[in-house]
Amino acid sequence: MIPRSTYQRMLGWIGRITLICIVAFLILPAAVVTIAAFNDKPILSFPPQTWSWRWFARALAYDDFRHGFFNGLIVTAWSSTIALFVGAMFAFAIDRYRFPFKSLIEGILVSPLVIPHFTVGLGFLILAAQVGLSRGFAVVVACHVVLVLPFVLRSIYVSLKNLDQSYELAAASLGATPFRVLTTITVPLLLPGLVSGWLFAAILSFNEFTASLFVTSQRTQTLPVAMYNYVREFADPSMAALSVMYIAGTAALIAFATSFLGLGKVLNIEQTH
């Protein structure tokens, strides 16, 4: 039999190697795309022979991408904010009240997790055509609200579950009306959950492609849709350059949220028992 220490050391090494492999596997696509973005030639190839920043300039200057980016911001801002309010209200209702068909409603609210995005997109497309709505921002926003709502709902629901109700009772005992309790105690204490829920929704919405493909038009197309339309015609590294900017932007946003909004610090509320 192998001595215990050698056996353990072997296990440790196997574990480390496995971990490295998994991490490498996870970042592999992003790494390949990042390297490909700096190719000087107008082809998507790996690894590049000559290097350049020019596809970044091209991506930034391309009109469809610029419009797509700003359209995406509009859609994301509206849809994640609406989802935040709706999700917060549902989360409250589910956490605090008992009502008939509660589990059914809960199920419907999280159902977009099992319904494919293209189904949701197609549904909204048919619906919009039926009621004579043009494919404007309203339809895109509505579609995105449905898609991101489950995530927001879950995030807020978990925060609510972890919120010690005695804070709210203490505030009420000190003479605070329910509205005052909500604004001075509940919402501030839930803020980390609300911010992270909103952020998560925003990232999902901004990246959403499948459903957006159905409900956007040339005028309202979001960045992922614009990118899809681009690769149908061109195959140059500007796509890769855009991806790199995408990743950098999202990472910066999350880093900002974590450090400047103090997500970590606020989340670390000390329990007194």
Partner 1 sequence: MQAIPTIEQNEAAVRFDAVTKRFDDVVALNAVSLDVQTGEFLTLLGPSGCGKTTLLKLAAGFLGPDAGAISINGRRVNELPTYQRGIGMMFQNYALFPHMSVADNVAYGLKTRRVPKPERQQRVAEVLALVKLTGMERRMPRQLSGGQQQRVALARALVINPTVLLLDEPFSALDKSLRTSMQVELREIQRKLGLTTIFVTHDQSEALSLSDRVAVMSEGRIRQLGSPVDVYRAPTDQFVATFVGDNNKLRGRLLSVGDSDAVIELGSAQIKVPSERLAKLEKSAPVDLFVRPEQFCVVSANEPSAMTGHVVAQIYQGGHVDLQIECPGASRDRLLVRSAGDQAVVRWPMGATVGVSIQPGGCAAFPAE
Please give the residue ranges that form the binding site for partner 1 (CB under 8 A).
164, 166-167, 169-178, 180, 184-185, 188-189, 266, 269-273
Q: Give least dist CB 96 to partner 1, A.
A: 13
Q: From the centroid of its chain, how far is CA 127? A: 25
If the CB atoms of residues 186 and 243 are measured against partner 1, the closer one turns out to be: 186
The dihedral built from the CA positions of residue 194, 147, 206 and 28, taken in this order, carries a sign that is positive
If the CB atoms of residues 16 and 96 are measured against partner 1, the closer one turns out to be: 96
Q: Give least dist CB 176 to partner 1, A.
A: 5
Say if CB 159 and CB 193 are below 8 A apart: yes
Torsion, Cα 168 171 173 176, to 10 degrees, reads: -110
Q: Give least dist CB 171 to partner 1, A.
A: 7
Name residues whose C-beta falls within 8 Å of residue 185's C-beta, 6 or more positions apart in sequence.
167, 168, 171, 176
Q: Give least dist CB 114 to partner 1, A.
A: 33
Q: 133 φ, ψ to 5°? A: -80, 135
If the CB atoms of residues 11 and 269 are measured against partner 1, the closer one turns out to be: 269
CA distance 75 to 212: 10
Say if CB 238 and CB 41 are below 8 A apart: no
Token couple for 4: 């215990």
If the CB atoms of residues 86 and 163 are measured against partner 1, the closer one turns out to be: 163
CA distance 228 to 218: 12
Place of tokens 């300039």: 57
If the CB atoms of residues 127 and 261 are measured against partner 1, the closer one turns out to be: 261
Neighbours of 199 (CB within 10 A): 22
Q: Give least dist CB 169 to partner 1, A.
A: 6
If the CB atoms of residues 130 and 272 are measured against partner 1, the closer one turns out to be: 272
Q: Give least dist CB 198 to partner 1, A.
A: 19
CA distance 66 to 59: 8
If the CB atoms of residues 150 and 193 are measured against partner 1, the closer one turns out to be: 193
Name residues whose C-beta falls within 8 Å of residue 46's C-beta, 6 or more positions apart in sequence.
32, 35, 36
Q: Give least dist CB 196 to partner 1, A.
A: 17
